């Protein structure tokens, strides 16, 4: 028996789609949205779940909430089979879909929270405590009397996050929680999630297209593409992936020189006395640094890791 809070084993989701191919004819086609994925998430982890459009992220989250039933495999969240006991699971998890709201559009924010309290039968004292904490940390005090439809996107998102947490869920799923938000709102949402995880130990699974969400919140990242898990590990480990990965040695010379000639690296840019040399990410920089230093007049040197965005873009491109 594993002690994972979330466990996913060989899970598949196949959708049947009907497509009109002629006046009378329709073709049935199967879309394998999730194609045999497996992972475990321990209590207290914050895990990023990323992949290109249509990769299967939302489908996975929907199966983990019980909204969708898997076509195959086994899922457990807090020991519960989500599709079988969706209502029981609802008391243990919180869900925020960035593109949709769970709040009542025409009601003031605080009335939505009151309805949540009754739906989840949250004891008054606990409700107060959780609401006060969210109001304080998400800066919602001035918004409680405002109807949801009048809130800005960032305000509404903060309101939605609070709504997902009033019943003390152990797990929080966030699907694109910072989509469309400005820089300040993004920072506030990220800061709040970090604090939530540190103070209450809430387990977080987060899908996003914003890699800064991942860099600032997640120690672990899972990459999905075409329904398959391509990577599961530390964010730093992504840098080492793929043979196309390159690091860059940035060299400041004492004077302008033609492009340097050093084995194992190639000059990719020259700007006055500064030159950029690309070399394979998996190789040590030491011999290269030694070779450059022995042959050219140097003022300074630095090594740049590949941009995480480049690494991921290359991974996606490789699969396509």
Ligand X SMILES: Nc1ncnc2c1ncn2[C@@H]1O[C@H](COP(=O)(O)OP(=O)(O)OP(=O)(O)O)[C@@H](O)[C@H]1O
Q: For ligand X, give the closer residue by CB, 10 or 31.
A: 31
Q: How far is the CB of 49 from ligand X (least distance, A)?
A: 9
Q: How far is the CB of 94 from ligand X (least distance, A)?
A: 19
Distance CA 65, CA 63 (A): 5
- Residue 224 sits at the vertex; the CA angle it makes with 176 and 316, to the nearest 5 degrees, is 100
Q: For ligand X, give the closer residue by CB, 98 or 245.
A: 98
Query: In the set 27, 30, 31, 256, which binds ligand X (CB under 6 A)?
Result: 31
- Residue 228 sits at the vertex; the CA angle it makes with 239 and 51, to the nearest 5 degrees, is 55
Q: Which stretch in 46-54, 106-114, 127-135, 258-266 sits in contact with ligand X by CB under 6 A? A: 46-54
Distance CA 204, CA 174 (A): 8
Q: For ligand X, give the closer residue by CB, 101 or 112.
A: 101
Got the DSSP string for 74-101? EEEETTB-TTTSHHHHHTTEEEEETTS-
178 in contact with ligand X (CB under 6 A): no
Burial of 236 (0-12, 13-18, 19+ CB in 10 A): exposed
Distance CA 118, CA 137 (A): 23
15 in contact with ligand X (CB under 6 A): yes
Distance CA 27, CA 147 (A): 45
33 in contact with ligand X (CB under 6 A): yes
Residue with tokens 């996003």: 208
Q: How far is the CB of 3 from ligand X (least distance, A)?
A: 28
Q: How far is the CB of 305 from ligand X (least distance, A)?
A: 26
Q: For ligand X, give the closer residue by CB, 14 or 240.
A: 14
Distance CA 253, CA 275 (A): 8
Q: For ligand X, give the closer residue by CB, 54 or 79.
A: 54
Phi-psi region of 72 (alpha: psi -120 to 50; beta: other; left: phi over 0): beta
Element at 287 (helix H, strand E) = helix 286-295
DSSP bridge partners of 172: 94, 204
Q: How far is the CB of 38 from ligand X (least distance, A)?
A: 17
Q: For ligand X, give the closer residue by CB, 227 or 245.
A: 227
Q: For ligand X, give the closer residue by CB, 81 or 210.
A: 210
Q: How far is the CB of 318 from ligand X (least distance, A)?
A: 18
Residue 61 structure tokens:
């989250």
Q: How many residues bind ligand X (CB under 6 A)?
A: 12
167 in contact with ligand X (CB under 6 A): no
Q: How far is the CB of 226 from ligand X (least distance, A)?
A: 9
164 in contact with ligand X (CB under 6 A): no
Distance CA 36, CA 182 (A): 36
Q: For ligand X, give the closer residue by CB, 29 or 266.
A: 29
| Binders of ligand X in range 47-106 (CB under 6 A) | 51, 53-59
Residue 222 structure tokens:
């899972």
Residue with tokens 């860059």: 248
Q: How far is the CB of 309 from ligand X (least distance, A)?
A: 16
Rule CB under 6 A: which residues touch ligand X? 15, 17, 31, 33, 51, 53-59
């Amino acid at each position: 028996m594993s002690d994972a809070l979330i466990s996913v084993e060989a899970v598949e989701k196949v959708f049947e789609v009907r497509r009109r191919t002629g006046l009378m004819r329709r073709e049935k086609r199967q879309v394998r949205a999730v194609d045999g994925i497996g992972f475990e998430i321990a209590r207290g982890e914050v895990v990023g779940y990323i992949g290109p459009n249509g990769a299967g992220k939302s489908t996975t989250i929907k199966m983990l909430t019980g909204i969708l039933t898997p076509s195959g495999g086994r899922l457990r969240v807090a020991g519960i089979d989500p599709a079988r006991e969706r209502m029981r699971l609802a008391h243990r998890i919180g869900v925020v879909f960035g593109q949709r709201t769970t709040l009542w559009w025409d009601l003031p924010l605080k009335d939505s929270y009151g309805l949540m309290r009754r739906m989840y039968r949250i004891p008054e004292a606990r409700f107060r405590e959780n609401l006060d904490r969210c109001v304080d940390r998400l800066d919602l005090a001035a918004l409680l009397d405002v109807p949801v439809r009048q809130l800005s996107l960032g305000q509404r998102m903060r309101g939605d996050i609070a709504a997902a947490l009033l019943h003390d869920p152990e797990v929080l799923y966030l699907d694109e929680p910072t989509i469309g938000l400005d820089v300040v709102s993004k920072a506030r949402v990220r800061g709040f999630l970090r604090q939530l995880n540190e103070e209450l130990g809430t387990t977080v699974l987060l899908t996003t297209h914003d890699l800064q969400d991942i860099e600032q919140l997640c120690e672990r990242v899972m990459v999905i593409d075409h329904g398959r898990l391509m990577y599961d590990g530390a964010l730093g480990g992504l840098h080492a992936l793929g043979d196309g990965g390159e690091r860059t040695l940035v060299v400041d010379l004492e004077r302008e020189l033609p492009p340097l000639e050093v084995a194992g690296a190639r000059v990719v840019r020259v700007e006055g006395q500064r030159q950029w040399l690309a070399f394979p990410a998996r190789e040590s920089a030491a011999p290269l640094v030694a070779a450059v230093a022995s042959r050219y007049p140097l003022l300074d040197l630095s090594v740049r890791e590949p941009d995480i965005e480049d690494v991921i873009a290359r991974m996606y491109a490789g699969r396509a």
